[in-house]
Structure formats: C-alpha cells, structure tokens
Amino acid sequence: MHVLNNQLLAKLLNQQSGPCLSISQNTHRSFPDNAQDVIRFKNLVKQLEASLEKMGGEAIKEKERLLAPFKRLAADSEFWKHNYDGLVVLSNATDSYVFKVQSPVIDFAVVAHSWHLKPLLRSLQTADRFQVLAVSRDSATLYEGNRYALDKAATASTFPHVNEDIGGIDDTHVTSAKTHHIERSNEIDKDTENYFRAVDRATYESYSAPSDLPLILVTLPEHQGMFRRISHNPYLLEQGVGVDPKSLEANDLLQRVWQVMEPIYHQRTRDEIERFKQAQGTGLSQDDVEEVYKAALAGRVEHVLVDADLRIPGKLLPEQERIEFVGSFDAPDAEDVLDDIAELVLRNGGRVMVVPPEIMPTPTGVAAVYRY
C-alpha cells in the first residue's frame, strides 16, 4: 500500500502512459460490512477486463499483464481485513499503486489514456484534512484524518514512537532527598525536551512538509508550552488540545481535534467560494466546463473548485481546444472531464479544491478563478 502525499500525486500526474486502469471503491472498516468489499472489487475488475476487450488490438494482448495487480490484490485475504473508507487502485504496463483513503468514494472502474485521480485529488485537496500529534514525555503517535476518521500516519521505524531514555522517578529518593528530587526533575525535563525535539523534527521533515497539512498538538497542558517553545514546525496550529492523549479513546480524540479544525475548515471553504463569487462579472471566473478546460490548457487557471461527486464522461481534444461530451463511460477513450481539468490545473501550478456537492457554488461541477 502506498502513502498518498503531494509529491506522489505529482509523480502520478507525470507518469501516465496508457492504457491506464483505475478502480475506486467504497469500502468498510468493520465486519460484517467489509466481507462484501472483495466481491465488489472483483466485479469492478471484470468491468476493466470488458473495457480492455472492447478496445481490441494491443489492449487484448496485454490484458492479463495489465489486470495482474488487481487480481493479486483480490486474492490477498489479509489486505481486505483492514480497510479504510475508500480504496483506489491504479495500474498501467509499468506501474501499479494501491491507496486506502479516509473518505467514501464512488465505485468506478475505467480504462483510459490517463488514471482517474479524482478520488485521490479529493483526499488531498479537501480542506478538512489535518494531522494530529499526540505526545507525552515517553511516547508519541502521529495521526492523519478528516472530520470522519483518524488513522495512524507514522508507522516507520524512523519515527521516534517511544523515548526509552526516560524512566519513572524513584519515590524513595523523592521523599528522602529534596536535592535529588530537584536534580531528577531537571534531568527528566531535559530528557523530555530532547525527545520533543526529535519528535518535532521527524514530524516536520517526513509528514508535515510533504503533506502541507495543519498539525494539531495533543498533550498535557504543562507540555504544550514546552513543545511549542522548541518546535520549528510552521504547520503547528496555535490552538491545541491540552489533555493526556492516553486518556482519550479514538472517537473522543477525533471529536476533540475536530473542534479545533472545524472553524478553520469552514473559513477556508468560505474564502475560496467567496473569491469565485467576487470574480464573477470581471471576466476572471468561469463555470462553463469547456471554457475552463481551454483556460486550463493555457495555464490561466489560478484556482478551481470541483464537485466531489459529479463525473462527466467525455473525450478531451487538446489540439482543437474542445471537449467531445459522450453519453457514458462505456464509450471508447471516455474519461472524467472534471478529473482531467483538475489535473491540468495542478500541472500548470494552479490550486484545486474538491468540495462536496452541497456547497459547490455552481451546478456545472466546476468553478474557476483565472490568473488573467
């Protein structure tokens, strides 16, 4: 399984040579719901196989090789025991990728000239994502999540999960020797600071910087100040949760950190929607899908909002700067037009925000603000 971040997304955007096979699937975290996930996945693989057969020619000759990563995954019983809320699998003749994502996705299978990346774009570009650092003087756990779920993000052995150098205070010495107690307390404080520095450095270098996600600190009130004093992580939010993280169950932890993140999320989405509305009538905004596509080709799109749930089948014709809209994704070479527009914007240095349909400011599924 691959860890999704901005660097890997950039690699995927520039590593597409067809035919590209994509599956996105809604999955379940617990039994008995997750028992059906592999069955539905196999049905989606059959759809890929049928699409390759329709393409004919080289696609049929390469069919078994192209489908092999999907079939191996379907046969991996351990993989299906530990699902998240969504699954995205991508493959072509040279590469394959598997991502578990923390938000539901639409069941979808397609063979096209490029991968269907919209579920990954949604996972990366939605404004409700954040990371949580739950730290004490002897251990640290890093989570990544959204309003619906939190999952451990730092699993590598290089992350300092435990500070093995800190031991408990000897009660006999504490009660019998005040000087020893002070010296031992100072020693623990120094050890704690050193551990916090190691945690801060690992968090920033391996997780915060690659993801660009806000970081919420969960630790005891007396450790909030110490950690912030030594931290060099610009993604660390000013507001944290002042409680021992070991005292919180998973759902309680999610609830507490979402209280910190929720107003930030709402402000971000309001700001971007307001920018689009303010640009209307100035010639610097557009919600017509084909016009936005032309602007994206030219590198004119600074920022675009994309409907998370809407998919528009079509064939992109860059030489003619137009889209040939088709009736369904069963048509040869049909791709999700909104997905491709989002990719173009990212390739040309623009920003993408994938938003739920209930707050999308246009009925077309796209709302773009131009640079010029």
Residue spans per domain, the chain: 1-125, 130-263, 280-372
Q: For the chain, what's the residue count?
A: 372
Residue 372 has pLDDT above 90, yes or no: yes
pLDDT of residue 182: 57
Give the integer Cα–Cα distance in Å for 168 and 171. Answer: 9
Q: Which CATH class is domain 1-125?
A: alpha beta
How deeply is 14 buried, as exposed, middle or buried, from its count of CB atoms within 10 A (0-12, 13-18, 19+)?
exposed
The fold for domain 130-263 equals: Nucleotidyltransferase; domain 5 (3.30.420)
Give the integer Cα–Cα distance in Å for 269 and 303. Answer: 12
The answer for residues whose C-beta is within 8 angstroms of residue 47's C-beta and 6 or more apart is 109
pLDDT of residue 184: 60
pTM for this predicted structure: 0.74
If you write DSSP's letter for every residue of 152-169 in order, what string do you get?
Answer: E---STTS--B-TT----
The fold for domain 280-372 equals: 60s Ribosomal Protein L30; Chain: A; (3.30.1330)
pLDDT of residue 289: 97
pLDDT tens for 79-134 read 999 899 999 999 998 999 999 998 888 899 999 888 888 888 878 777 788 999 99
